Amino acid sequence: MAQPALIPADLDSLSEDRQRRAELVTGLTAPAAFISPKYFYDVLGSKLFEAICALPEYYPTRTEAAIFAEHRDEIAAAVGQDACLIDLGAGNCAKAASLFAALRPRQYVPVDISAQFLQQSVAGLQRRFPDIPMLPLGMDFSSTLALPAQVQRERRLFFYPGSSLGNFDRDEALVFLRRLRAALPDAAGGVLLGLDLVKPSAVLEAAYDDALGVTAAFNLNALNHINGLLGADFNARDWRHLAFYDEAQQRVEMHLEARRDLIVRWPGGRRTFRQGERIHTENSHKFRADEIADLLAQAGFGDCQMWCDPQRWFAVCHARP
Ligand code: AVJ
Rama region for 119: left / alpha / beta (φ>0; ψ in -120 to 50; rest): alpha
Per-residue model confidence (pLDDT) at position 105: 96
**Per-residue confidence band for 4, with pLDDT thresholds at 50, 70 and 90:** low
| Strand order, beta sheet including 107-112 | 137-138, 107-112, 84-88, 156-160, 190-196, 314-320, 302-308
Question: Whose C-alpha lies nearest to ligand 1, atom 1?
Answer: 164
Q: Which residues line ligand 1 (CB under 6 A)?
A: 52, 60, 162-164, 166-167, 208, 215, 282, 284
The vertex-274 CA angle with 273 and 280, nearest 5°, equals: 60
Which atom of ligand 1 lies nearest, measured to the CA of 60? 5
Distance 208 CA to ligand 1 centre (A): 8
Which atom of ligand 1 lies nearest, measured to the CA of 284? 4
Report d(CA 318, CA 94) in Å as an integer: 19
More confident position, 130 or 187: 130
Question: In testing the pocket of ligand 1, which one of 87, 111, 163 has its CB within 8 Å of the most ligand atoms?
Answer: 163
Distance 284 CA to ligand 1 centre (A): 7
**Per-residue confidence band for 1, with pLDDT thresholds at 50, 70 and 90:** very low
* Helix (H) or strand (E) run with residue 94 in it: helix 94-97
Q: What is the pLDDT of residues 80-121, one digit of tens each?
A: 989 999 999 999 999 999 999 999 999 999 999 999 999 999
Number of neighbours of residue 25 by Cβ within 10 angstroms: 16
Report d(CA 85, CA 106) in Å as an integer: 8
Question: Whose C-alpha lies nearest to ligand 1, atom 8?
Answer: 208
Per-residue model confidence (pLDDT) at position 306: 98
Q: Report the amino acid identity of residue 224.
A: N
Q: How far is CA 145 from the centre of its chain?
A: 14
Which atom of ligand 1 lies nearest, measured to the CA of 243? 12
| Beta pairing, strands 262-266 & 269-273 | antiparallel
Question: In testing the pocket of ligand 1, which one of 282, 285, 314, 316 has its CB within 8 Å of the most ligand atoms?
Answer: 282
**pTM given for the model:** 0.94
Question: Whose C-alpha lies nearest to ligand 1, atom 10?
Answer: 284
Residue 3: is its pLDDT beyond 70?
A: no
Question: In testing the pocket of ligand 1, which one of 111, 241, 245, 284 has its CB within 8 Å of the most ligand atoms?
Answer: 284
Report d(CA 248, CA 264) in Å as an integer: 33
pLDDT above 70: percentage of residues in the chain: 96
Per-residue model confidence (pLDDT) at position 186: 76
Per-residue model confidence (pLDDT) at position 191: 97
Which atom of ligand 1 lies nearest, measured to the CA of 37? 2
Q: What is the pLDDT of residues 243-269, one digit of tens each?
A: 999 999 999 999 999 999 999 999 999
More confident position, 56 or 5: 56
ipTM of predicted complex = 0.99
**Dihedral sign, Cα of residue 217, residue 223, residue 228, residue 232:** negative
Residue 7: is its pLDDT beyond 70?
A: no
Report d(CA 271, CA 55) in Å as an integer: 35
**Per-residue confidence band for 177, with pLDDT thresholds at 50, 70 and 90:** very high
